[in-house]
Structure 1
Amino acid sequence: MTTIILCLLAYLIGAIPTGLWIGKVFYKKDLHEHGSGNTGTTNTFRILGKKAGIIVFIFDLLKGTLATLLPLIFHVHGVSPLIFGLLAVVGHTVSIFDKFKGGKAVATSAGVVLGFNPFFLLYLAVIFFLVLYLFSMISLSSIAGAIAALLGVLIFPHFHFILPNYDPLFSLIIMVLALIIIIRHKSNIQRIKNKEESLVPFGLNLSKQHNI
């Protein structure tokens, strides 16, 4: 019974639509009606500004971490912490508090990895910020991070680098999270192909996107 309650709690934690609520309460703006219409970190930065964007990023990150740590906090055994983290990501992307809409899962997925393997997250952060500097696109950086995660869980265990042993469940969860992120960036991928993707105001923009 405790496990079921914690699974539900993990979903509800992930389902908190941070950007949407902050926008409505403090800025009198509905993020669904501005920019990309997304309630995640990137659109919050773009529409509500740096302060709100940072708060939303941190909160969405910690949603994944807290959910992943629930079994440790409540001394629940027999269910992997990754299952709780995955439920938080599901809540973030299909939120009961936002008519089953949600963000693109990047920050919350990062929080799940932070709660389970911080060094793997550090590797992904390096990839993310390197791609961000080279191409000036958060969307492309997120997709690159997802692909890097897929490659990491497949390759690193063979070299005992970051992941000393092959963990089937961790690999499976990472694959699911990566696929969720890539699928939810489908419209961004099309804009990147059309060279119309939104950019951050720094970096090299090597792909020469036009929507600055």
Structure 2
Amino acid sequence: MTIFLLLLLSYLLGSIPFALIIGKIFFNKDIRNMGSGNLGTTNMIRNLGKKAGLAVFFLDFLKGILSLIIANKILGDVTYLTLFGAFAMIGHIFPVFANFKGGKAVATGSSVFVYLYPYLALALIIIFFINLFITGYVSLGSIIISFLGALYIGIFGVGLDRYIMVFMCMFIIYMHKDNIIRIIKGTENISKLKIKK
């Protein structure tokens, strides 16, 4: 029963639509009707500005890390701790408080890496920004670090956590399927952080 309640709590934490809340409270706008319609950092930055986007990233990041901290405090160092982070990610992607249409869980998923694999997370962050400066594609960076994260944990991970994390990384890549198509077509949005030649 304890595990079930913690999973439910993790899902509900993940379901809090901070992008929607910030958009409506501070801008009187529904971010779901803007840009890609995703309740995530990138869509917020492109449509409501950097401050709003960074606030959403921070809050979405907290959703995942809080689910892990709470579960860790109650259950101890179990080999399936990532399961609670995964449920927070699922909550973000399919939020019960926003008609089950959320974001892609990159920020929420990142917190799981930071909490459990801090050195790997640091390496992936560096890789993400190198890609961003070179290609300008935020989505490609998310895809690359998800793949590399899955590859590393698939090889060096242990216990049930390994399979949970690999699955969630692959699921994040799947959530970017439309972005992959736009990248191939050359129609994907390019960040201003791209270094101009």
Same fold per superposition (TM over 0.5): yes
Residue of structure 1 equivalent to 2:35: 35
% identity of equivalent residues: 40
What residue is the counterpart of 1:72 in the other structure? 72
Higher helix fraction (1 or 2): 2
Name the larger-Rg structure: 1
Given the superposition, is the C-alpha separation of residues 200 and 78 from structure 1 closer, same or farther in structure 2, using an over 3 Å criterion?
closer
Written as runs of structure 1 = structure 2, the 5 A alignment for 1:145-156 is 145-155=145-155
Quick one: distance in 1 between partners of 2:167 and 2:196? 29
Which residue pairs with 1:89 in the alignment? Answer: 89
**Per-residue deviation, 1:175:** 1.3
TM-score, normalising length: structure 2: 0.93
Structure 1: unaligned runs, 5 residues or longer: 158-165, 207-212
| Aligned length in residues | 197
- Aligned residue in 2 for 1:181: 172
CA contact (8 A) 2:40 2:102 kept: yes
Shift of 1:75: 4.5
Deviant stretches of 4+, over 6 Å:
none
Q: CA deviation at 1:205?
A: 7.0
Aligned equivalent of 1:209 = none
CA contact (8 A) 2:79 2:161 kept: no
User: d(CA) in 2 for partners of 1:131 and 1:81?
Assistant: 30
Tell me the C-alpha RMSD between the 2 structures: 1.7
- What is the match of residue 202 of structure 1? 193
Aligned to 2:19: 19
Amino acid at match of 1:135: T
Alignment match, 2:120: 120
- Cα separation, 1, equivalents of 2:123 and 2:158: 17
Indicate if the aligned counterparts of 2:68 and 2:82 stay in contact, CA closer than 8 A: yes
1:7 touches 1:87 (CA, 8 Å); kept in 2?
yes
Length-normalised TM-score, structure 1: 0.87
